[in-house]
């Protein structure tokens, strides 16, 4: 069920009616049953997967909290292994074996669910969070539908206490929530969905593409993937805010990064912090050698690439980022820096990121290479005419003009900065445009990160 679909809007209306008019003692049941319906709507036979994974984590957490000595380490390793087995089976088995062994479709949000539960187990193991003794609360933490299938990836301390003591949001909070959801919807439907067919055409016919088409793929896909995923995050944060629950920011102007670490501080923040805390820092140790620090960064980003998808293009994506981050840390360790104007640093960093991002859209390394080769087809007639590119270019330019203002704090402050009439008018206009484009294009496409 896509947030930008009419089916979801009907679901959310019924959900919030039940939330508002039923007694508060039923809210835990509403969270679980509503979220299970939301998940099962995509594919009912898979509804057991999040419940099964939560059951493994629940039992593992109880046993880990009671164990002592080296048994505890063995328990967490075995429990995490058991949690990861479905992910390996559904997502990586065919790639590892080099042939099709299983032909099941990838369960929705399985990567996010697995990482959410691993963070719970590790926090219980480290005693930074008390073990949850009520299975239903742990299930609600995992299944809370706004963040269920594509994040933000939440630590137990970020969500469970809020679920157990949900404040009643006032009208200002609800208006703020509606504004965030609408902005996310605009990013998805008016930017990402409109650019998607142009970018897809270049990847489908790279041999016919010229330099102009390559630039559409380069700038268009960077705008598309950002608006698609940050749009989802904005909608998720807005939906949670309807119930008074605060979710953390997941993006912070990543395309204004001056360095590779700046970029990772602003892109998919909750995933970045997950890999930093649960992979990179344990690998590095307290006082790592230069080689260990470099290899820790390299391995962490390789694992991040594999998390995104089973393919050599994702592994290469991770390797490039890993080498980049590793070199940055080495330069910082030895006080080396590149003296360039800030604007030039941003310009160069964006183009490096945009080029590497193109590996995400490719069906494989050969497809990615064919698209990159289009940059050198200077005299080729190309796929698109100048007239057909006016619309996507306007969208791309508008996106990059507004990107510097796209922070969660800025978006949350919009209702305070605008008069009520202007805010209502702006929200109404946005919804009208979304509805018109939704009908004319045959509906909104699924979110890119649903495949991850």
pLDDT of residue 231: 93
Residue with structure tokens 């949670």?
240
The rounded percent of the chain whose pLDDT value lies above 90 is 62
In the structure, what pLDDT confidence band is assigned to residue 105 with cuts at 50, 70 and 90? confident
What's the whole-number average pLDDT of the chain? 89
d(CA 214, CA 199): 9
Active site residues: 308
Sign of CA dihedral 177, 405, 255, 332: negative
DSSP annotation of 442 reads: T
pLDDT (average), residues 246-272: 95
Give per-residue pLDDT as tens, 349-386.
999 999 999 998 898 999 999 999 998 887 778 899 88
Cα torsion angle, 303, 305, 307, 310, sign: negative
Q: Is the pLDDT of residue 45 over 60?
A: yes
CB atoms inside a 10 Å sphere around CB 399: 23
| Close Cβ partners of 114 (under 8 Å, ≥ 6 residues apart) | 53, 83, 84, 86, 87
Task: Please report the pLDDT score of residue 445 as a whole number.
Answer: 67
Are 374 and 209 spatial neighbours (Cβ–Cβ below 8 Å)? yes
Concatenated DSSP letters for 69-133?
THHHHHHHHHHHHHHHHHHIIIIIHHHHHTS-S--PPPPTTHHHHHHHHHHHHHHHHTTSSPPP-
What are the angstrom distances between the C-alpha of 398 and each of 72, 197, 315, 391, 405? 53, 18, 32, 11, 12
pLDDT of 401 reads: 95
Highest mean pLDDT among 70-79, 102-111, 409-418: 409-418
């Amino acid at each position: 069920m896509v947030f930008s679909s009419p089916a979801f809007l009907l679901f959310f209306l019924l959900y919030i009616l039940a939330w508002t008019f039923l007694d508060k003692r039923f809210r835990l049941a509403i969270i679980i049953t509503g979220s299970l319906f939301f998940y099962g709507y995509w594919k009912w036979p898979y509804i057991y997967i999040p419940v099964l994974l939560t059951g493994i984590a629940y039992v593992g957490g109880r046993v880990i909290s009671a164990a002592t000595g080296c048994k505890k380490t063995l328990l967490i390793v075995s429990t995490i292994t058991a949690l990861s087995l479905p992910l390996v089976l559904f997502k990586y088995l065919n790639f590892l074996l080099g042939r099709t062994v299983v032909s099941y479709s990838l369960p929705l949000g399985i990567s996010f669910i697995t990482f959410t539960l691993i963070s719970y187990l590790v926090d219980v193991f480290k005693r930074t969070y008390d073990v949850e003794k009520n299975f239903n609360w742990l299930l609600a933490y995992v299944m809370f539908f706004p963040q269920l299938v594509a994040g933000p990836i939440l630590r137990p301390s970020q969500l469970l206490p809020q679920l157990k003591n949900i404040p009643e949001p006032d009208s200002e909070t609800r208006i703020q929530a509606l504004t965030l959801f609408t902005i996310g919807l605009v990013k998805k439907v008016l930017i990402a969905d409109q650019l998607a067919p142009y970018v897809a055409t270049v990847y489908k016919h790279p041999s016919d593409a010229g330099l102009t088409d390559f630039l559409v793929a380069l700038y268009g896909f960077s705008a598309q993937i950002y608006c698609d995923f940050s749009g989802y995050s904005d909608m998720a944060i807005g939906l949670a805010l309807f119930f008074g629950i605060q979710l953390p920011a997941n993006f912070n102007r990543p395309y204004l990064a001056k360095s590779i670490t700046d970029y990772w501080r602003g892109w998919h923040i909750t995933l970045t912090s997950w890999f930093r805390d649960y992979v990179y820092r344990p690998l590095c140790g307290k006082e790592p050698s230069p080689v260990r620090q470099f290899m820790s960064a390299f391995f962490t980003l390789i694992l991040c690439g594999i998390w995104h998808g089973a393919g050599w293009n994702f592994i290469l994506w991770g390797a490039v980022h890993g080498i980049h981050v590793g070199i940055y840390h080495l330069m910082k360790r030895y006080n080396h820096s590149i003296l360039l104007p800030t604007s030039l640093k941003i310009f160069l960093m964006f183009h490096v990121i945009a080029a590497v991002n193109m590996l995400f859209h490719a069906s494989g390394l050969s497809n990615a290479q064919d698209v990159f080769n289009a940059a050198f087809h200077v005299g080729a007639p190309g796929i698109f005419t100048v007239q057909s590119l006016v619309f996507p270019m306007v969208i791309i330019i508008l996106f990059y003009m507004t990107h510097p203002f796209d922070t969660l704090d800025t978006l949350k402050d919009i209702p305070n900065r605008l008069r009520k009439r202007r805010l209502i008018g702006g929200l109404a206009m946005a919804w009208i445009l979304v509805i018109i484009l939704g009908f004319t294009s045959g509906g909104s496409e699924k979110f890119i990160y649903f495949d991850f």
